[in-house]
Amino acid sequence: MTPATFNCTVLRDGHQSLAATRMSTEQMLDIAPILDTMGFSALETWGGASIDAGLRFLGELPFDRLDTLKRLAPKTPHMMLLRGQNMVGYTNYADDVVEAFVKMSAKHGMNIFRIFDCLNDPENMRTSIRAAKEAGCTAHGTICYTTSPVHNLEYFANLGKKIKEMGADGIVIKDMAGLIPPSETAALVETLKKETGLPVWIHTHETAGLGAATYVAGINAGADAVDVSIFPFANGTGQPDCMRMLALLRGYDRCPVVADDFRDKLTKISGMLQPIYESLSRFTNHRNEIVNSDTLRYQVPGGMLSNFRNQLKEMNMTDKFEEVFAEIPVVRKALGWIPLVTPTSQIVGVQAMMNVKFGRWKNITPQCADVALGYYGHTPAPVDPELQALCAKKMGKDPITCRPADLIKPGMQDLRDKLTAKGIPATDENCVIYAMFPQQLEDYYAGKRPEPPTAPAKPAKQENYGAPVALSSVGVSAAISGRQMKLNILGKVYDVQIEEV
Ligand code: MN
């Protein structure tokens, strides 16, 4: 029996899930070479939100990061998450731009493309899968796991078969919300392997505490590889940590085989990551580090939950939390049960808020209307015809049934012309980045670098505080949970954020 293998996500999803994608290339320099010696089947080093965040917040050119990490970790295959026709942006791009993006990524060292679509529409994966194969790379068709009346084993098996027909080398079960139960994982792995004969890899999150058990069940059912990360950029909203997975899988036939010094290296890297995690404390959140079963109750990704709390606060709708959440399945059903993943999680979330605030479908966002009219692709189930008619009227355009990118003219020449006019080198690398993040690339070449995040406020010197007082003696008590403290002073309760001095 072939053992399963581990992929390491610490340089991408690990910090995307736990530190708002803020780990810089510099912070990765000492870790990448060690990771390269550990026998991981892949290192996830690029893609997802890391390209947007690196350029926008860290002032890094995306291909420079890939070059650096490839140079430091040349032996292990590099892996990236690609949103099909959306590339690593938030809308559909022209085929020639998608082809150029994949080609440039391959040129700079990318090996495995994990290609998904936010609607699970295989047509939106077709160009990327073909481009990855043409570039001599591995293409993994990626299925977004979600729950709905139409997302059953038969649906996922059919999707797997279509992905195989398109030429994919493997299938990834992408459980972005950490919602898949172990028993269902086993059934899904068995079905996909049986129906496609392709390797099946699993990607999940420990958000609701199911992740590690899901991997054990998946591996016992035949999964070929699972994604793990390294503490402290692991667990909670991130991937299960590698050390724990090894312990959990011990004694099973297909437990990944690791070298004698593997655990020592994990410990060493954890130690190196600790100060990096602390340096990103502006972006980390205790809520993300723990198991949170809210996500099971609401069936949405953890990132969406925290965005949501903030947005409801901004709209003065905190008291409507339960009502808005009850509206999410209503919106999903009307839009043909679309999964909740970037960017549909945002589209559904905002529309649910609008429906509660203004009345159902009284105020429809253009993005929601575009989903209803087919401009994102085929939805898993038909869109509610009444909603579709309403959106057509409101937007003044007809629904489409073709692949949305068929309506987009080739874009590379136009991008080259624009860059040349702006005095920016019109390389294919710059063109594909400019297609997604024009302002950020212009700022980069204009020498504008993002402001570094403000350093945590320096605490006043110890002597200014006076002698410590035992709390109970002056009517003060405190309840501490992680870095949050409820401080009760003479009956009045204060929320306090604790920072280490
Ligand atoms: Mn993920």
Q: How far is the CA of 12 from the centre of ligand 1 (A)?
A: 9
**Residue where the block lists tokens 């209803």:** 372
Query: How much is the pLDDT for 293?
Result: 84
Say if residues 117 and 83 touch (Cβ distance below 8 Å).
yes
Q: How far is the CA of 332 from the centre of ligand 1 (A)?
A: 21
Q: How far is the CA of 15 from the centre of ligand 1 (A)?
A: 10
pLDDT (tens digit, 9 = 90+) per residue, 438-448?
A: 999 999 999 99
Burial, 427: exposed, middle or buried (Cβ in 10 Å; 0-12, 13-18, 19+)? middle
Query: How much is the pLDDT for 486?
Result: 72
Q: How far is the CA of 177 from the centre of ligand 1 (A)?
A: 8
Say if residues 112 and 141 touch (Cβ distance below 8 Å).
no
Query: How much is the pLDDT for 452?
Result: 73
CA distance 98 to 96: 5
Which stretches does DSSP call E strand in 69-209? 78-82, 112-115, 138-144, 170-174, 200-203
Q: How far is the CA of 385 from the centre of ligand 1 (A)?
A: 33
DSSP string, 177-195: TS---HHHHHHHHHHHHHH
Q: How far is the CA of 73 from the centre of ligand 1 (A)?
A: 22
**Residue where the block lists tokens 């901004």:** 314
Query: How much is the pLDDT for 292?
Result: 83
Q: How far is the CA of 305 from the centre of ligand 1 (A)?
A: 15
Task: Report the DSSP pairing between strands 484-489 and 492-497.
Answer: antiparallel
Sheet containing 484-489: give its strands across: 476-481, 484-489, 492-497
Report helix, strand or coil for 428.
helix
Burial, 424: exposed, middle or buried (Cβ in 10 Å; 0-12, 13-18, 19+)? middle
Q: How far is the CA of 204 from the centre of ligand 1 (A)?
A: 6
Say if residues 392 and 364 touch (Cβ distance below 8 Å).
no
- pTM score > 0.85 for this model? yes
Query: How much is the pLDDT for 449?
Result: 86
Q: How far is the CA of 60 from the centre of ligand 1 (A)?
A: 22
Task: Report the DSSP pairing between strands 112-115 and 78-82.
Answer: parallel
Residue 343 preceded by cis peptide, ω within 30? yes
Query: How much is the pLDDT for 469?
Result: 46
Instruction: Name the DSSP class of 320.
Output: G
pLDDT (tens digit, 9 = 90+) per residue, 355-401?
A: 999 999 999 999 999 999 999 999 999 999 999 999 999 999 999 99
Q: How far is the CA of 390 from the centre of ligand 1 (A)?
A: 34
Q: How far is the CA of 171 from the centre of ligand 1 (A)?
A: 15
Q: How far is the CA of 466 from the centre of ligand 1 (A)?
A: 47
Residue 33 preceded by cis peptide, ω within 30? no
Amino acid sitting at position 51? I
Query: How much is the pLDDT for 52?
Result: 95
**Residue where the block lists tokens 């070929």:** 224
Q: How far is the CA of 239 from the centre of ligand 1 (A)?
A: 8
Query: How much is the pLDDT for 313?
Result: 86
Q: How far is the CA of 208 from the centre of ligand 1 (A)?
A: 14
Q: How far is the CA of 337 from the centre of ligand 1 (A)?
A: 20
Q: In the numeric block, which tokens belong to residue 48? A: 């997802």
Q: How far is the CA of 467 from the centre of ligand 1 (A)?
A: 48
Query: How much is the pLDDT for 481?
Result: 64
Q: How far is the CA of 205 from the centre of ligand 1 (A)?
A: 7
- Regions of the chain with pLDDT less than 70: 302, 453-483, 488-492, 498-501
Q: Which residues surround ligand 1, an ion (CB under 5 A)?
A: 13
Q: How far is the CA of 396 from the centre of ligand 1 (A)?
A: 36
Non-local (6+) Cβ contacts of 330 within 8 A are 352, 355, 360
How would you write 321-373 as a 3-class SS string?
HHHHHHHHHHHHHHCCCCCCCCCHHHHHHHHHHHHHHHCCCCCCCHHHHHHHC
